[in-house]
Amino acid sequence: MILPGSDSQALGAALAAETGRELAAVTYDRFPDGEGMASVDLDGTALDRAVVVASTPSDTAYVELLQLQDAVREAGADHVTTVIPYMGYGRQERAFEPGQPVSARAVARAVATGTDRVILVNPHEASVTDFFDVPCSVVDAAPRLADPLPADLTDPLFLSPDAGAVSLAESVRDAYGGGDVDYFEKVRHSGTEVDITPSDADVTGRDVVVVDDIIATGSTMSESIGVLDDRDAADVFVTCIHPLLVRNARTKLERAGVTAVYGTDTLEREVTTTSVAPVVADALGSAAAE
Ligand code: R5P
């Protein structure tokens, strides 16, 4: 049985269809004092194995995830798998200054108390898998990012805004079937301010696909689009695994002159154009195989 968190309802349904598992009747309520209550109506169905699928872009989403894990244990599940399509706090994988917590480790430990196995989709740092005290594996959805791209890109260049994301750009290029790969250099000054230094790749008249793992405030992508525009690139598409798109990110991208924005359903947003369900389903295996 698949139990989706409130931020992963479409993905939960897609996973149920892909794997042949039942989609649970989950509800998300809130008490007058503000406390949440995610629960499942089992209607007499026996539950031995459960899959909780919950992205965690907020503190509330983490509490929901813990509640769903606890609800299925309470209902008798003897094996729980937790899929975290987008892992919130995943970028706090170390204490950057004395006195700070390793937040990714703190939330991972909490999650691990209620599950037997964790699956993450393209976490920002692969090292976060070590923070879970249960087996944790990663699935790579980057090749799926090629699906929504136009088939007739002009002399395409697949570009990452920093060296850390170049393997994502390579995966998308390979799945697309051709094109060059390059990367810019990025220096982050604050949560919303970044400087992008372009490479010397010639982008004049070429269609460029900028690939990153996350679009959060949109600063990285809008700076990259600006640099490409200054250098007379043709169309600039931006694509990412996790379209967090906080605050005015979408406006920043539009004002920078983006041609189109794409993302997956690890976060269900207007720009979500492709599903990670097939790659997560492969990691889960079919219900019949259990
Ligand atoms: C950072 O290294 C990540 O790969 C992304 O580039 C970053 O999270 C994007 O953040 P923002 O959209 O706020 O620039």
Cα 105 to averaged position of ligand 1 atoms, centre (Å): 20
CA of 136 to the centre of ligand 1 (A): 24
Distance CA 172, CA 143 (A): 5
Residue among 105, 124, 186, 252 flagged as catalytic = 186
Tell how far the Cα of 216 is from the centroid of ligand 1, in angstroms: 6
Instruction: Specify whether the CB–CB gap between 121 and 266 falls below 8 A.
Output: yes
**Does residue 218 have its Cβ closer than 6 Å to ligand 1?**
yes
Going from the C-alpha of 141 to that of each of 59, 240, 272, 274, the distances in angstroms are 24, 10, 13, 10
- What gap in Å lies between CA 156 and CA 207, rounded to an integer? 5
User: Are the beta carbons of 207 and 152 closer than 8 angstroms?
Assistant: no
Q: Do β-strands 136-139 and 272-274 pair in parallel, antiparallel, or remain unpaired?
A: unpaired
Per the structure block, which two tokens stand in for 78? 């003897």
d(CA 9, CA 145): 20
pLDDT given at position 190: 87
| Burial class of residue 189, CB neighbours in 10 A (0-12, 13-18, 19+) | exposed
CB within 8 A of 210, min separation 6: which ones?
Answer: 159, 160, 161, 221, 224, 225, 228, 236, 237, 238, 239
State if residue 265 touches ligand 1 by the CB under 6 angstroms criterion.
Answer: no
Residues 6+ apart with CB under 8 A from 97: none
Contacts of 62 (CB under 8 A, 6+ apart): 56, 88, 107, 110, 111
**What pLDDT was estimated at residue 44?**
83
Q: Split the chain (290 residues) into runs of 10 and give each run's mean pLDDT.
A: 98 97 97 98 89 98 98 96 98 97 98 98 97 98 98 98 96 98 93 89 97 98 97 98 98 98 98 98 81
